[in-house]
Chains A and B, each alone.
Chain A
Amino acid sequence: MEARHGPESLSPPQIAAMRRSMTSGRMALTRRSLLRAGGAGAVAVGGLGALGGCGIPPAGRTEADNASDDHSAEEKRLAFSNWTEYMDTGKGGRHPTLDAFQRRTGIKVKYTEDINDNVEFFGKIKPQLAAGQDTGRDLICVTDWLAARMIRLGWIQPLDPAQLPHAYTNLAKPFRTPDWDPGRAHSYPWTGIPAVIAYNKKATGGRKVTSVSQLLDDPKLKGRVGLLTEMRDTVGLTLLDMGKNPETVTADDYDAAIARLQKASDRGQVRRFTGNDYTGDLTKGDIAACMAWAGDLIQLQSDNPEIEFAIPDAGYMTATDNLLVPSKARHKRNAERLIDYFYEPKVAAKIAAYINYVCPVDGVREELAKIDKALADNPLILPDEEMAAKSHSFRSLSSKEEAAFEDKFAKLTGA
């Protein structure tokens, strides 16, 4: 008998079946796929000519481009895109403050929580805005640096102060004149977002963590430190710790801060750079101490008493999320009415009580105290004077600087 168990010993139909399974099964991709790839290559060579014709036009637009026909009068509605968990929510997923707005004005708000990440949201709406088209959104809420970029690109409609009496009067002083939108001509802040230090008492063994230096150097925290993927918060806090001012940061300051962070990262001090997902790691204790956003902390503390926060003596960063009306939006007037409504202290207090971020509205303290005394006294929602004095923001960057800074920061985070 032959040692080989070749197909010779099979019946013709069996051989045929085996051949079939190999030539028309998945394996059939071999030669044909190569041919196809070759064909695609040929097409690609022929298409090179077509490539030259492509290009991405300048993204910037002028003010005249983005003025839109306003349909607010005849269409009593508007579309508002916001972050998740950023609006008071009642039974059945309804939003009581928005319902109250509709009862008062007859304007129906189509509220969508479709912003999870600034850069992703920018990628999503960029094609329409760059082409000068309506995004289908009348009001959006994005973080200050993105708001600055969009205003710089001319994608945002200027607001009419005459339509915003409450907003104009009640906007708290620290929020009035950001360097990227002087006089708040295009934007109104939705919330302030302090970036501070948080730690898990159990994981640190009862140690207090109060400074960025400690985060980056304390050997007891090695491998259990979390930093934020938000460049301005992580680098800003580090700059403050180094005695530099993020409001006037130079390229050299920036490089020095990156080098400081890189050193800590190379030593294995840093476990991860995270977005919002640090909350889970901190609760479990996988991250012992980290940079964290104040609004998350109030929630985390109520779930886990081991979580503590610290305001660094060197100061902390406050970013803002801002309400903007994108160009070509059909219901600008309605959007302005909604912004103005949010600046009534009663309404602002209701939202602040729910979302727990810094409220940029003057006169909200009394209203918030009526809802919950503890919240009104919480410096993470309404910073007292001592704390407010330590608040800093990152200076606005030109697009070239921004690209260079982001590239250096991306390298620091490993990508």
Chain B
Amino acid sequence: MAEYLIKNGHVFDPVQGIKGDKADVAIKDGKIVDKVGSSAKVIDAKDKTVMAGAVEIHAHIAGPKVNLGRIYRPEDKLFTCTPTHGMERMGGGASIPTTFKTGYEYAKMGYTTAMEAAMPPLFSRHVHEEIRDTPIIDEGAFPVFGNNWFVLEYLKNHEIENTAAYIAWLLKVTKGYAVKVVNPGGTEAWAWGMNCLTVNDPVPYFDITPAEIVKGLIEANEYLGLPHSMHIHPNDLGNPGCYKTTLDTLALAEGLKTHNKFGREQVMHLTHTQFHSYKGTNWGDFESGAKEVTDYVNKHKNITIDTGNVTLDETTTMTADGPFEHHLTGLNHLKWANVDVELETAAGVVPYIYSPNISVCAIQWAIGLEIPLMMKDPMRCYITTDHPNAGPFTRYPRVFKWLMSTKAREAQIDAFKHKDKVLSQTSIGSLDREITFYELAQMTRAGPAKSLGLSALCGGLKPGMEADVAVYNINPDKPVADPDDIEKAFSRCAAVFKNGVQVVSNGEIVSNGHKRTLWVDVKTKENAQVKHDISEKFIKYYSMTQNNYEALGHHFVPNPFALEVDATQA
């Protein structure tokens, strides 16, 4: 493989503690190395910023729910299509781009690894077909467990070992990466026309509470020692006053310790925190609860979070939180799609316009920015838009601009129709912190990689790590004259390397790389009970046979990369 030397760039690497020093990054055989030979191809990074490839910890970018959005929103592709050019195939879509456009757009912004945040196990084959067709970036997918009948039945009796064996089996057959929980118990309750809005609302029929599901899944996750922690979208998303349920959910992790060999320190990852940090009792007195939530997370080191920033765009909301989407269509009267996934989960899809002229949307925008600005440890807070729920991932450079420049934030606040309301209902106006380049590298590279248990592989530039490198056209030593320059620089990289292959040059795709599917292969003790329960459920309830369930072989996962876990001694 080719050797490269990225010379004289300003390097930001939290893994090695490098804070913008001028340094060279050498690449050989797909890895970062100490030095390369004189024949190495030199990339001049003078006056440019060099970071590891960014890591997306939570986005909805592949699978049936995303595709349902694509199918029922042809208008999302209107005027957003890009024709075939150079290496690139045609693409389209703004909030739900085609798979090819998804890969290209991430790569052009310097993202080289991404996690699909909610895989319905029954449709893992569809998820993997889309992952396969998303070029360049390595991807993993989180199967959803929080409303799964096996899990509900085992955890009702606190059977951690059986839950763990089931998780190991499901990760293997669906080629899944982590334990995702969406509105625990609430989505199952939705099948009965109900919901769980607190951690103590019992799930109908199963007679278990969200608190028992969450705690049990953390214990099972740590029993196995998986690379990532339990990854949660709590109950009561998006309602005024929901921060209380969020705090109740976070408290379930209190005192729990992690047990893994991947360098991960948390036992719970709270996703799209913005949607879970609302105070007030209705949309009229709606206000920010970012302080209450971040105060708690700042004090509890066994929790990591991502932000879920509202980008003020027209977008497509989609979640396994079926009851929430029904609630949302009742608010905005736009089209609604709902899917029930047998014994496992459900999903809903509704288009949404985050208008800067609506006070609630503007307050949501402010809360999304307050969270990272109030978090003391950037290694535990990651930037997301919960793509496409709070905005498309292609807006990351704009979110970076708002975080890195008070001037950019002030300009946006001034542009809001209800500026006074934004200032009175949030503390965005009094936050003068500006995220530094180093903190940005923590929030988008080293941090999410560590939380995902990938810190040995990516998120840094230490020799021995995989050569995922992004070079940006911005000089961190020069004061930024116009905040829009930040957005511009992070939108299109000067160069991007994925596993040592140059995939982007001057903002254009130059290679499709060797895309991999990341999954977690757990060895467990033989568990006859769980094996029996699985075959019984397929015979009695599933609409397909067990033989047709597994996502296997070249067609679904052509280039797998398994993280191995031995839980036989657990």
Question: Do A and B belong to a common assembly?
Answer: no
